[in-house]
Amino acid sequence: MRILIVSTAYWPYPSGVSEVIYYLSNELNARGHKVTVLTTNYSKIYDDGHNADFDVVRVGKAVEIHINQSVSHISLGYDIPVKIKRLLKNEHFDIIHYHNCFPLELESWVLHYSKTINCVSFHTIGFKRNPLFDIGAFIFKKYINKIHGHIAISEIARNWNRPYFPGDYTIIPNGVDTERFSLSVEPFEKPKNAFVILYLGRLHQRKGIFVALDAFKNIKDKYPNTLLYVVGKGLLENEAQAYTEKLGLNNCCRFFGYVSRDELPRFYRTCDVFISPALGGEAQGIVLLEAMASGKAVIVSAIPGYQEVVADNENGLLFQTGSSQDLAEKIRLVMNDNLLRQKLEINARGRAEQYAWPKIVERVENYYTELIAHHKSSF
């Protein structure tokens, strides 16, 4: 198959969707398909450790926008329509796979000019309902019939997006590289007898960094050997560091910022427990899978997207969303119960293996085949 994968989010910008595009494209390419990724241009302020064997075409320039209590990007450029039309004319794609699809965005330009089979993966859910989504859905109405396939990465993603993009949905979750994130990864050296808690994610409001800091303060007062590693950057970085100082946690809470791809798996292997205190707006949670593939106990908010990955007290622990006290109690539980922690670690790795990329991409590949067989007579 000749496959065009369209996503504004892609490397060098570090994000969960960027990872998805890379691994999906790489695996499809390895299976003998001709894959092209269409994305945009990012400033070279990010680390890019990806050497792709597939074609990558870039149009326009990424512009940062603040939405959904986080940061996203749109692609702007006067020549975007011309370049997209030329690409679609010169290449005869069997299927185009969009990752999210918002009005006036890169993906919507491609859908506008597409004359082949189109499917969309929906990765995003709103933190809360926003009138902008309703306006966008109204603008997008005339394109709805051009979408032949709908993939949701989780049930919550399907339920949230279906009112805007009606149709039949197939749930295919995002995967994880179970070789890159594994028990064989060498951890960093840490202080003797230290218990390391890891927060890894963007420092944005909905990711819950302040819940993590308050919980750590609760823990640190009673367990002086605990450390909190914070990996990631974002809008609240300065505020989070100032709050850390206010709480008197400077010497035991370390902010690492962005880390390289080679270092990332080592942070998971170094920690004793991984936490993700997101307040909402998460459709699945790739960082959860990375931590679980690394054989770590995970403690995460009881939000719908996370609950589709983590079974409470089986392969991780859930805590009351937004409650630093409950998070602290769950951390203490794992610290004091070695048998529980061992059970969670073993089951976490087993759960992550169900999401190994070869298994996920096989499902995507079969979905492509079924769509093409069903709709090829229309083109």
Segment 222-280, tens digit of pLDDT: 899 999 999 999 889 999 999 999 999 999 999 999 998 899 999 999 999 999 999 99
Give residue limits of the domains in the chain. Answer: 2-175+356-378, 195-353
pLDDT at 356: 98
Q: Which amino acid, 96?
A: I
Question: CA angle 324-326-328, nearest 5°?
Answer: 65
Give 232's DSSP letter: B
Same CATH topology for 2-175+356-378 and 195-353: the answer is yes
Asked if residue 178 lies in contact with residue 353, where contact means CB atoms within 8 angstroms, the answer is yes
Show the DSSP H helices in the chain as ranges: 16-30, 80-90, 106-113, 131-140, 155-161, 209-220, 237-246, 264-270, 286-293, 304-307, 324-336, 338-353, 357-375
Edge to edge, what strands does the sheet with 273-276 contain?
253-257, 226-231, 195-200, 273-276, 297-301, 317-319
Instruction: Work out the average pLDDT over 2-30.
Output: 93
Which residues, in sequence order, are CB contacts of 21 under 8 Å at separation 6+? Answer: 5, 7, 9, 10, 37, 39, 99
The pLDDT confidence band at residue 373, using thresholds 50, 70 and 90, is very high
d(CA 337, CA 51): 42
Give the residue from 224, 353, 202, 219 showing the smallest Cα distance to 282. Answer: 202
Quickly count: other Cβ atoms within 10 Å of residue 53's Cβ.
9
Query: Which class does domain 195-353 fall in?
Result: alpha beta
Whole-number percent of the chain with pLDDT over 70: 92
Instruction: Work out the average pLDDT over 144-160.
Output: 95
pLDDT at residue 333 greater than cutoff 90: yes
pLDDT at 315: 98
CATH superfamily of the domain spanning 2-175+356-378? Glycogen Phosphorylase B; (3.40.50.2000)
Query: pLDDT tens, 45-64?
Result: 555 556 778 999 999 997 77
Task: Take residue 10 and report the two structure tokens written for it.
Answer: 């892609």
Query: pLDDT tens, 78-105?
Result: 899 999 999 999 999 999 999 988 777 7
Task: Take residue 270 and report the two structure tokens written for it.
Answer: 């170094």
pLDDT at residue 317 greater than cutoff 90: yes
